[in-house]
Amino acid sequence: MLRSSLRNLNKFKNINITTEQKDIIDKLIRVDHAGELGANCIYAGQMYATKKAGPGRSDEIELVQHMWDQEKHHLSTFNKLIDDFRVRPTVLSPVWIAAGWFMGASTTALGKQSAMACTEAVETVIGEHYDDQITQLKKFEHLHPDLVKLRETCEQFRDDELEHLDTAVDHGAQQAPAHALLSAVIGSACKFGVWAAEKV
């Protein structure tokens, strides 16, 4: 197999890595950066719609804020990683911003259970995607300590996302009207987003 150095990473200049492995790293960081950007916008939309709904749903504000704060940390981390690894961000970022906010706001407008169903569906896809990435990284993380750190970051963020999934279920996600349909539509949208971010 053709091998190349990570020429755009000075700290990696003394190691060899396959072009396939380099592609895995680039796609991983680009997709996760896009995903965390979208997640932040989902929670921004949820927060907006929750506040607009009035005091009757004020109990949701603290719940949404806790999950949003974790997503803000995730995005901040991937903002740094995308610079450190010099990965090109997806050109679809404006789409994720708009789509994420609309998804969060519209499902929240339908009620708390629908908002939680949105979170459940998104985090299910993201948790599975992180698992796949972790498996890939474990195959060649020995090449550089920063790849080990990247895998550990993915593991921590996956655990956070699964915590959000559990929180959503505990707060009525599966009692949402048309839960199966809502989950299928949102899950499919997320999977398409992962595929698109890998490509562009």
Place of tokens 């921004």: 44
- What is the C-alpha separation between 142 and 179, in angstroms, rounded? 43
Secondary structure string (H, E, C) spanning 17-54: EEHHHHHHHHHHHHHHHHHHHHHHHHHHHHHHHHHHCC
- What would the pLDDT profile of 75-123 be if each residue is shown by its tens digit? 999 999 999 999 999 999 999 999 999 999 999 999 999 999 999 999 9
Lowest pLDDT segment from 14-28, 73-87, 132-146: 14-28
**Domain residues of the chain, as ranges?**
14-199
Instruction: List the alpha helices (DSSP H) in 53-111.
Output: 59-84, 93-109
10: confidence class by pLDDT, cuts 50, 70, 90: very low
Quick check: 65 pLDDT over 50?
A: yes
Q: Distances in Å between the alpha carbon of 88 and those of 24, 72, 100, 117, 129?
A: 13, 20, 21, 32, 20
| pLDDT computed for residue 5 by the predictor | 37
> Residues 12, 150: contact at Cβ < 8 Å?
no
Average pLDDT, rounded, for the chain = 90
Helix (H) or strand (E) holding 174: none
Pick the CATH number of 14-199 from 1.10.3470, 2.60.40, 1.10.1200, 1.20.1260: 1.20.1260
56: confidence class by pLDDT, cuts 50, 70, 90: confident
> Residues 119, 164: contact at Cβ < 8 Å?
yes
| pLDDT computed for residue 53 by the predictor | 85
Binding annotation for Fe cation: 36, 71, 74, 123, 161, 164
Instruction: List the alpha helices (DSSP H) in 110-178.
Output: 112-138, 145-170
Of 168, 199, 198, which Cα lies nearest the Cα of 183?
A: 168
12: confidence class by pLDDT, cuts 50, 70, 90: low
pLDDT mean over 126-154: 95
Binding annotation: 36, 71, 74, 123, 161, 164
Residue 90: strand, helix, or coil: coil
